[in-house]
Amino acid sequence: MALVEARGLTKVFRRPDKAPGLKGALRQLVVRRFTEKVAVDHVDLAIDAGEAVAYVGPNGAGKSTTVKLLSGILVPTAGEVRVGGVEPHRDRIANAHRIGVLFGQRTQLWWDLPVADSLDVLRDMYGIDRATYTRRLKRFDEVLELGEILPSLGRRLSLGQRMRADLAAALIHGPEVVYLDEPTIGLDIAVKDRVRGFLRSLRDEGTTIMLTSHDLRDIEDVCRRLVIIDGGRIIFDGALTALKDEFARERILHVETAADVPLAAVQASLAGATVTAGDSPRRFSVRFNRFAMTAGQVVAALAGHAELVDFHVDEPSIEDVVRRVYSGELMAR
């Protein structure tokens, strides 16, 4: 049974539809008009215990709204959601003890308290014994270098320092489920690598992770499953490798021949592929659908025209595929 489960999850926001200025505000008091915006549209999602899932999409796709629904911050307009059998928005205290949440643009630190005091307040709120708290702080310090920022006031932290402190705050009570929204924003390269390694160790220890990030390296390093949301609807849910099968079926074979080759003849022998001239008469590329033909078949066809001096195949990267999905170049087939 899934630890996190959403069925038909929907969230609709209403905003006043009024003209600007005092006249528009007064009219809105009499004639109340609203525009509805569907942020999350009948989302079905199931995450098993110990699974690390990347939840990605373009800005405004519904990622953060989904996380807020799963964490109980927002109440669904329709559908249902359960975390460990609990409805987050109905039993917030029980849900808060089993989840950790980090929003890259918000903080759970107290601005006028030192970071150490903010974490100590959280220790009291969650009822963590002193020995466990000390052990976890030590582990966080090894990864996040907390020692240097514990005496600092929350409002005086840089973005990178605040993210390190907020990550510790989200994990201090040892949650079963962790929702991370842009967890490495503002971090330098060395700290990013340590955070990713730490998240992998949490995953391997059985913590369930739901990660939203525009940094595709975060996704590839931590998650094995990818969910893409766009316009409030899930358009892909599967393994990272399956993403390429679903959205990027084309490969590009770059070729160099020993003699000039008439490209029209090459094109005629490769029905369904696209042949493009290169920077010299002996260099060209062949774009083909790998489900319609293999690279070996393309090479064999080319060998009938001239001796091949060199060739290599371009595989699309996960980052390139996701970017093209966001831009609308690639659609599910």
Q: Which CATH class is domain 4-244?
A: alpha beta
Query: In the prediction, which pLDDT does 333 show?
Result: 44
pLDDT per position as a tens digit, 145-182: 888 899 999 889 888 888 889 999 999 999 999 999 88
For residue 84, give the nearest of 67, 68, 71, 66 by alpha carbon. 71
pLDDT per position as a tens digit, 269-312: 888 899 999 888 889 999 998 888 888 888 988 888 888 999 88
Domain ranges of the chain: 4-244, 250-315
For residue 8, give the nearest of 40, 38, 37 by alpha carbon. 40
Q: Which CATH class is domain 250-315?
A: alpha beta
Q: How far apart are the first and last CA of the chain?
A: 30
Cα separation, 173 vs 292, whole angstroms: 52
Q: What are phi and psi of 126, to 5 degrees?
A: -90, -5
**Strand intervals (E) in the chain:** 4-16, 34-47, 52-56, 78-83, 99-103, 177-181, 208-212, 225-230, 233-239, 250-257, 274-277, 283-289, 308-314
pTM score: 0.76
* Percentage of the residues of the chain whose pLDDT score is greater than 70: 94
Helix, strand or coil, per DSSP, at residue 258: coil
Whether 307 and 257 have beta carbons less than 8 Å apart is answered as yes
Residues of the chain under the 50 pLDDT cut:
332-333
Query: In the prediction, which pLDDT does 76 show?
Result: 94
Neighbour-count burial of 205, counting CB atoms closer than 10 A to its CB (0-12 exposed, 13-18 middle, 19+ buried):
exposed
